Structure 1
Amino acid sequence: MKRSFVTSGSACLVRGGKYMMMGGVSALSFAGAAMAQDVGAGATSVDEVVVTGTRRTVQTSIETKRGSATIVDALTADEIGDLPALSVGEAIETITGAASHREKGGASEVSIRGLGPFLGASTFNGREATNGSGDRSVNFNQFPSELINQIKVYKTQQADLVEGGVSGLVELGTLRPLDFNRRRIQVEGKLNFNPYDDRLLQPNGPGYRGTVSYVDQFDAGSLGRVGLSLGFQRNDVTNPEEVYNASSTWYACNDAQTAAGNCAEVTRGQAAAGTPFYLVPGSYIFRQIQEDDTRDAWFGALQWRPNDRLNINLDYQYSDRSYNERRSELGISEARYGLTNRVVNADHVLEAVSGNSSIEVNSTFKNRSETYEGAGLNIEYDVTDALTIKADVSWSHTLRNETDRNVRLRSDPLDIYGNRTALNNQRVPYTMDLRNGSVPTFTIDPRFDINNHDLFSDDARIRRDQSQRDHEIMAARFDATYQPTGGLFTAFDAGVRYSEMTFTDFDNRVEFTQDDRAVDRAANLACRRAFPQRDFLKISESNSINSWASFDAVCLFESYAGTPDTGLPLDIRAVENRDVAEDVLAAYGMASFETSLGALPLRGNVGVRVVDTQVTSKGLRADLDVVNNPDGTISLVPTGAFDEVVIEAGTTRWLPSLNLTFELKEDLLLRAGVFRAMSRPAPSALGAGRIITVDTGTDYASVEDAVRNITANGSPRLEPLMSWNADLSLEYYANKDSLYSLALYAKQFTGGFQPVAYDESFTIDGQTVVVPVTQTENSDDESTLLGFEITAAHRFSNLPAPFDGLGTKISYSYADLDFENQDVRLGDIVDAATGEVTEGIIPPAGLSGMSKHVLAAQLYYQIGKLDLQAIYKYRSDYYQDFVGGNAQLRYVHGVGTTDLRASYAINRNARVQVEAVNITDEPRIEDMPVWGSTRGYYAYGAKYYASLRYRF
């Protein structure tokens, strides 16, 4: 296939020696637009072979990296829908040093150079984007990869970036229609098949994804030129999931005591004195999930050039995602009760045990809806040939609502008909053995048949949970660029940016219990259903639980509550709620230069940013009443009278940066970068609320004993994590298809995190109770990260046909860091009054999201109309903090996944493609709160796709 092109020099614009990448469009795309405009000036037309598909994506990515002023890795595509991935997150995983955390089998939050999402930053068309998770990373699952055509990962920073991050900046870009400079109408339909769906008794069948996009340009006469791009996608898929999970709260139990009742916890002092202990969760859970997942996404852009000096861009993005989960759970709800025959290893992991526990089934219907909206107006005006000014205003908003309707039924000495059971006891003997594999082997006393619906007859608990997270950012920035004529400096840039961020959330629970056996019997009989699938957790060789009695969650809820949904109460105020406002004012100045050291060409930039952050966090406090529950436990509920607490904090940080590029040879570049970076805490980590945990046992002598733990649900005075950074990158560009690079980097962090205990007074049942409240604060600790990255991309064009279509890209990143994160319950803790540090009883974790090893390997074969690709992605073990912080340590096992892709161009307009994701069915495995103590096993299975795309 050939197309007429115009010879017009380089594919990158050079402005005063400085390479300029334009507004989220690949360099070659822009060059194509510039060439087309030159035709009328008498340029000569020649025939040139058009490179497409995977090879073209690799080429444009290499071009973007070569033309950058900083150390950058990129994934770019000339055409909409050409990014070689099913999602934006999976596309980013193929970029050197980038890795993701997997949720529901797909890539979600991204880590750069093995560092967690907290240390990175993300922008969409150069602007901050909101997130329904409560952190600052972008939920990449919200954005269709078919409507994104450029992803850039900045490893070093320059002063004009919005803010950057310690690990780097991920920038997503959509095209500008005038820069695209050609009409394109594209329609794609994609079918999805999950093998796990076939194991369901009532399979959902194939899912689908439909995408349509339109790009065009119009001549408006005296009003100039107008460009329009529109894109829409509907995604409707299913995500069956199998889970073994333990609770998120773990206890250190005294291994020297007998098994009567709940195990006794050891204090830090007792552990330090040599008291033996073991680690145990509050409960164990097996969970089977059926899910329907739907997303509608709209992208639009309007570009207007009234004349050669003025450029106006308006863009809008909308994504509405909703999914429903039907959960069937089997729970061993008293994992701390009556524990004997304990086998404990040197790391205090409970490897095997015999216990007695209530056995419960939980039936849950979960709905989550998340809506993202973003819009921006960008105006660029060339005041003179040397002076350009830009103004940008933007808005980003995410609203996430999640509602759970849950009914719990428990074991009892009597069945639903009032007959004595074989055990004649509520608690059932069981054994747990973790030595056989990743999922503990549970053996439940055979006298209690977990598949017999009749035996789940007591302690009916009806619960409705609703949470909402509302995250909004409004921002404006003004920039000016002056390009002097001649001299050392090629450009001077300066700008100011202001943003207002708000984050609010609430968690509301409506709960009641009932013990009328006749009511239980009626609900039990009316709402039974067969266990939803075959071969539960078949992938795990150690799993011994294959099915259990299951019920329809909505049916049970309506049977007990008298309505399908009780809704929210009129008053949703609670001491756990967050209300955070953050105002950020930033300014920068940057000078770009081009010179030479002897015969060695040198270019780069130097600049400084100053970032002022002001946080206002509001929380509620209330007196509490003790409520005695029918099952013998207690609950603490607010009296209804609340006092507002307002905490204000602020920081000002200076962030200098220097970037240098030495042209050792025409095809050999040496880059260096030195900069100071900051990563601000997540919005949810700045809350001023409190979380009160009540012991579920009944053997307490006072309210103080029952209230085991009160933690802050955030720390408004948390300061940004700061680092000094140095990078060095040697890059060899052998040809358009080949890149070899080695990057070395070092980061010195200042200001780790540590739990600090403050004594606070609470009025409970009219009594004043003093309880130590734990929150996270910055420490003065320093830590150093050292790492390197290797990238090699090569096409074997020198091989004889047909092997000359073979190409590969391999990247590897290694990082080592001595950072420490303490477990809030079991780690080191500082007394706020005295500053005394009490040593913890378990070792600290490293930095959240930190993987030592990250590998991405691609092998592609492109010959004629056929394009084949295999992608392998590996990420080593890492610690993953819970959103909002102030929690216990959770570790994720390293894993490697393999994706396959094959496409065939029927003609210049039509293409068929098949894709396979996670073909080896790799699960996600978690440990908590130390390595080797399994907390979670999440199996999603492989996923397959077949698609047809047509371009007009």
Structure 2
Amino acid sequence: MRAIDSSRRSATHIWYRALRYGAALSVVMIASQAVAQVTTPAVTPDEASQVDEVVVSALRQTMQTSIAVKRDSTAIVDALSSKEIGDLPGQSIGEAIETITGATADRANYGPTEISLRGLGSFLSATTFNGREASNGSGDRAVNFGQFPSELFNGIKIYKSQQADLIEGGVAGSIELETKKPLDYGKRLVSGELKGNYNSYQDRIKGANPWGWRGTASYVDQYDLGSLGELGVSLGVQRNAVDDPNEIYIGSNTWVACNPLIVSKTNCTEVSRAQAAAGAPFYLAPNSLSYRQLTADERRDAIFGAIQWKPNDRIDVNLDVEYSKRRYTEDRHDFGLAETRYNLHNVKYDDDGKLLYAEGSSTLQSVSTLFQRQERYFGGGGSVAFEATDRLTLSTDVSYSQTVRDDFTRSTRLRSDPLDIYGKTTAINNQRVPYVYDARNGFAPTLAIDPRFDVNNHDLYSDDTRLTREEEQKKDRILAARFDARYDLDGFLSRIDAGLRWSDRRYTSYDDLVTIDQASLAVDRTVNLACRQPFPQTDFLSDAPGNQMKSWATFDTLCQFQNYLGTTDPGGSGDLRSVANADVTETVWSGYLMGSYKGDAGKVPVRGNFGARFVKTEVASKGLRAGLDVVTNPDGSIRLVENGDFDSTTIKASSFRVLPSVNANFDLSPKTMLRLAAYRAMSRPAPSSLTAGRAITLQDGTDFTSIQDAIGEIVASGSPRLKPIMSWNGDIALEYYANRDTILAGTVYYKQFTGGFIPVTKDETFVIGGQPVTVPVTQTQNSDEKSHVYGVEVTLANQFTWLPHPFDGFGGKISYNYAVSNFKNYDIRLGDVIDPDTQQVTEGMIPAASLGGYSKHVLSAQLYYEAGPFNIQGIYRYRSKYYQDFIGGNAQLRYISGNDTFDLSASYKVNRHVDIRFQALNLFNETKIDSMPIYGSTREYQYFGPQFFIGVRAKL
């Protein structure tokens, strides 16, 4: 019966989605038809050419330029390109990339952050910024595209197939971001744009201003220096003051398999892998659950500058710099169940172990947090191209890229107790309050708290006060240099390219955590009374189904710090050493040789390239291990005691890979092209996954006969010996270009992987008490298991000029990617684990996930209408469910549910200098849903709300 009900709900949801987005696109069509009936202003003959530019501008011209870039490329490429700076769609470059075939994003708050290609995770893609590798503040290799405004770019290319001169790292593909070179732009541009923003969720925050703004200015010009040649300059600046609140239900990062046959008055009894393999039933429960209300404040600044100098026809010098700074603050208020595995009874669960219903008792807590983030990106470099002869061109490039992310968190926790702040016995008369957990009605579980405990009563949060100050920094720096040579030939082999590249990447991180506990009821009462505040929001989680928590007692975080400690910032620990710290240096030497050819294969014109890239990677990772003293007991047994010191260690690893590639393009007819590509590609693990720290857990007890017996578990914070994921790839593409507005293209591709990741227990030697001790360490290792991805992607774009007026103003694009993979990622706590020496596999309790970021279905659809000076566009994006790794490794599996978004934009060109623009993002308020550690077991869901922009752009 449950399967039938689920099927019905799924079918209903599909019809609902189709009707909803069909209605949304109908709005575009109705509005556009209405505008089409408006009389276009009369123009003089001198303005006729300007009117033509208006008709084929913005959306249609961007579509035409993108089609032309794809057709002219040697590799299999999809592009978004505009002749004009500022014409790419979207508020960030991430939103623009999502309109390209096969590209989809991980979304946070309102904007896309990391991009996945062909339904494969962002860690399998490479991103270059003006041909250079870009740094990141999250600890992985995926660029945070939300940092960069789309208004300062004019071109994006996604290489689906590889060629030897591309920087390595793109198993799924390579994303190339381009800013216009000022001399190549060829004309003066002075532009400014000011947008106002309305945020509906910000309007729910009491006393908050729902309005924000975004301002952008660009300047491009060229100068004749006489005998010194030509000089071009460009400058773009942006200030973004738009707030990003959201509403969240969230569970802990750790889930445990509990035994339903043992009803415990304490924490549930855990089920081991061996017990589950023997048939023991289990259900999956989190350690804690919370509702989170937050008020966000965000400011972003970006500055892009470039200088291009051509002293003569043979020398081209380019200098550029990019700077971005993001300041982000969250004022959080959490209501939580701190012990959701305590006293669980009347449990209901399904065959997969998903917890559907439970009754339990838990300590309740109100947590007030002020989270502040500052992220700074600085990059740039210089390049020189020299035409040594009519055939030989030499070029060199030196670049620098650095991202620094600083997080500063202050948090205060107050918990329930048998006594309130006045020392009176509460109605519950217990620290732990009965509750009911119910997840039987969809993705949004409900928490029903015993009504005798009034969650809005500040008096009841009176115990276990803990103040936490945490300061975390992640720094990613890349210094790189390359040298390239190009030699033109006559004949079938038309060109030879060769080059060398060196890069030095250093990733460091530290986390300084200070906790302060206080147990005086009198002090708690004074601070509680002084720092109370009304619940900051109206209509909390009103969009979520079920009877969700609407409010609870909240406190002012800085007021609590001031009243407890006499200061809002007690300062750090003074000791930044930690086993979780990272210090990873990665040095890469690479070289390539590539030949380009152009001629005929029989009567069919053919062009392409072939070559190989040679890559040497060296990793040196420094880490810390907690120092231990061996203490001998009177009876001769021993115990281990942490001494507060740390032992440092450096783990080194290296790899060498050869990446051959072949691209061939056959012009079957003037309008039809067949493309073939075969290549080997690589993607390196995230820098944060290469850390060398080791956390040592001691066994309970004080009397052991050996050091090995006293050690319970050693868990690696990272695995420096991880090798790149390698793949052999093949692509076949057929493309039909009916005219400059129309493309019908289909690509079939195959990828075979070797070297996925699997948890292992591997012996490592430690020096403890002066004695070398060999202990098994749980860590991640490359697997020898082979896996594959089969996929197909289809693109159709057309301007509907074949329709009668006024419908000939319609145009659109639809792209779809379908992929199937048998790649496996295992849950470290509950999944398969392998002994690397014996290759014996201990069967896990839950199924493995697939590739990080892998979605079976990815769809993007655009429908636009242009009528003289007016245009309107709707953009729909869909991505099916996928597994998303945590930064630094998948201690437990996390899945993101399938999601779709709909954005609407419109503009009206007042004259050739001024246009008015409108944009609505996330128009239907899609929910972001996380599951852990199996799909469907909700860990988190978030609502962001829609966001609206209206602005004016002026260009001279």
Q: Same fold (TM over 0.5)?
A: yes
Structure 1 counterpart SS, 2:564? helix
Structure 2 counterpart SS, 1:54? helix
Which segment drifts farther, 639-648 or 743-752?
639-648
Which of residues 731, 740, 747 is equivalent to 2:744? Answer: 740
Structure 2 counterpart SS, 1:238? coil
Which segments of 5 or more consecutive residues in structure 2 lack a partner in the other structure? 1-47, 631-639
Which segments of 5 or more consecutive residues in structure 1 lack a partner in the other structure? 1-44, 627-635
The 8 Å contact of residues 229 and 311 in structure 2, kept in 1 or not, is answered as yes
Which of residues 294, 302, 325 is equivalent to 1:297? Answer: 302
Which of residues 341, 344, 352 is equivalent to 1:347? Answer: 352
Structure 2 counterpart SS, 1:385? coil
How far off its partner does 1:53 sit? 1.0
CA 701–788 in structure 1, closer or farther in 2 if over 3 Å, else same: farther
1:540 aligns with 2:529: no
1:750 aligns with 2:754: yes
Which of residues 697, 716, 721 is equivalent to 1:712? Answer: 716
How far off its partner does 1:416 sit? 0.4
Distance 2:711 2:924 in 1: 46
Partner of 2:206: 201
Which of residues 236, 247, 251 is equivalent to 1:231? Answer: 236
Deviations 1:71-101 (A, max 9, x none): 0000011111100111111111110000000
Deviations 1:205-226 (A, max 9, x none): 3111111110000001100000
How far off its partner does 1:253 sit? 1.2
CA 873–466 in structure 1, closer or farther in 2 if over 3 Å, else same: same
Which residue identity is paired with 2:388?
A: V
How far off its partner does 1:332 sit? 0.3
Matches within 5 A, 1:232-311: 232-311=237-316
Which residue identity is paired with 1:61?
A: S
Partner of 1:70: 75
Distance 1:908 1:251 in 2: 63
The 8 Å contact of residues 344 and 359 in structure 2, kept in 1 or not, is answered as yes
Structure 2 counterpart SS, 1:118? helix
Distance 1:582 1:228 in 2: 35
Structure 1 counterpart SS, 2:570? coil
Which residue identity is paired with 2:396?
A: A
The 8 Å contact of residues 92 and 151 in structure 1, kept in 2 or not, is answered as yes
CA 730–904 in structure 1, closer or farther in 2 if over 3 Å, else same: same
Distance 2:201 2:770 in 1: 54
1:873 aligns with 2:877: yes
How far off its partner does 1:465 sit? 1.0
Which of residues 671, 674, 679 is equivalent to 2:678? Answer: 674
Structure 1 counterpart SS, 2:561? helix
The 8 Å contact of residues 61 and 76 in structure 1, kept in 2 or not, is answered as yes
Partner of 1:622: 626
Partner of 1:183: 188
Which of residues 109, 113, 121 is equivalent to 2:118? Answer: 113
Structure 1 counterpart SS, 2:201? helix
Which residue identity is paired with 1:805?
A: G
The 8 Å contact of residues 310 and 381 in structure 1, kept in 2 or not, is answered as yes
Partner of 2:591: 587
Which of residues 645, 656, 662 is equivalent to 1:658? Answer: 662
CA 406–694 in structure 1, closer or farther in 2 if over 3 Å, else same: farther
Deviations 1:599-649 (A, max 9, x none): 1001110000000000000001122599xxxxxxxxx99633221101000
1:820 aligns with 2:821: no
Which residue identity is paired with 1:479?
A: D
Which of residues 27, 48, 52 is equivalent to 1:49? Answer: 52
The 8 Å contact of residues 163 and 611 in structure 2, kept in 1 or not, is answered as yes
Partner of 1:611: 615
Which residue identity is paired with 1:934?
A: T
Distance 1:421 1:47 in 2: 77
1:136 aligns with 2:162: no
Distance 1:189 1:723 in 2: 46
Deviations 1:484-540 (A, max 9, x none): 1x2211100000000000000011100021110011011111111111111211111
Partner of 1:857: 861
The 8 Å contact of residues 788 and 823 in structure 2, kept in 1 or not, is answered as yes
Partner of 1:423: 428
1:786 aligns with 2:814: no
Deviations 1:540-573 (A, max 9, x none): 1124211110011111122222211122232201
Distance 1:152 1:682 in 2: 23
Distance 1:92 1:694 in 2: 49
Distance 1:842 1:49 in 2: 61
Structure 1 counterpart SS, 2:368? strand
The 8 Å contact of residues 624 and 763 in structure 1, kept in 2 or not, is answered as no
Distance 1:139 1:508 in 2: 24
Count of residue pairs brought into register by the alignment: 896
Distance 2:125 2:207 in 1: 42
The 8 Å contact of residues 331 and 370 in structure 2, kept in 1 or not, is answered as yes
Distance 1:126 1:387 in 2: 21
Deviations 1:769-789 (A, max 9, x none): 997532110010001111001
Matches within 5 A, 1:495-644: 495-623=499-627, 639-644=643-648
The 8 Å contact of residues 623 and 763 in structure 1, kept in 2 or not, is answered as no
How far off its partner does 1:711 sit? 2.4
The 8 Å contact of residues 789 and 820 in structure 2, kept in 1 or not, is answered as yes
Which residue identity is paired with 2:301?
A: D
Which segment drifts farther, 667-676 or 825-834?
825-834
Distance 2:852 2:511 in 1: 25
CA 779–413 in structure 1, closer or farther in 2 if over 3 Å, else same: same
How far off its partner does 1:49 sit? 3.3
The 8 Å contact of residues 301 and 315 in structure 1, kept in 2 or not, is answered as yes
Partner of 2:497: 493
Structure 1 counterpart SS, 2:572? coil
Deviations 1:313-336 (A, max 9, x none): 000000010101000001100011
Distance 1:84 1:431 in 2: 46
1:895 aligns with 2:908: no
CA 706–230 in structure 1, closer or farther in 2 if over 3 Å, else same: farther
Which residue identity is paired with 2:309?
A: W
1:913 aligns with 2:917: yes
Which of residues 686, 689, 693 is equivalent to 2:690? Answer: 686
Deviations 1:694-748 (A, max 9, x none): 99xx999999999976421210000000000000111111111111101110000
Partner of 1:801: 805
Matches within 5 A, 1:8-87: 49-50=52-53, 51-87=56-92
Which residue identity is paired with 2:52?
A: V
The 8 Å contact of residues 204 and 238 in structure 1, kept in 2 or not, is answered as no
Matches within 5 A, 1:313-332: 313-332=318-337
Structure 2 counterpart SS, 1:288? strand
Which segment drifts farther, 825-834 or 420-429?
825-834
CA 102–637 in structure 1, closer or farther in 2 if over 3 Å, else same: farther
Distance 1:252 1:109 in 2: 32
Distance 1:637 1:148 in 2: 57
Partner of 2:27: none
Distance 2:356 2:510 in 1: 38
Q: Give the TM-score normalised by structure 1.
A: 0.92
Distance 1:154 1:371 in 2: 28
CA 518–762 in structure 1, closer or farther in 2 if over 3 Å, else same: farther
The 8 Å contact of residues 711 and 886 in structure 1, kept in 2 or not, is answered as no
CA 709–321 in structure 1, closer or farther in 2 if over 3 Å, else same: farther
Identity of aligned residues (%): 54
The 8 Å contact of residues 776 and 886 in structure 1, kept in 2 or not, is answered as no
Distance 1:419 1:443 in 2: 24
Structure 2 counterpart SS, 1:306? strand
Structure 1 counterpart SS, 2:151? helix
How far off its partner does 1:692 sit? 5.9
Which residue identity is paired with 1:291?
A: A
Partner of 1:467: 472
Structure 2 counterpart SS, 1:328? strand
How far off its partner does 1:149 sit? 0.8
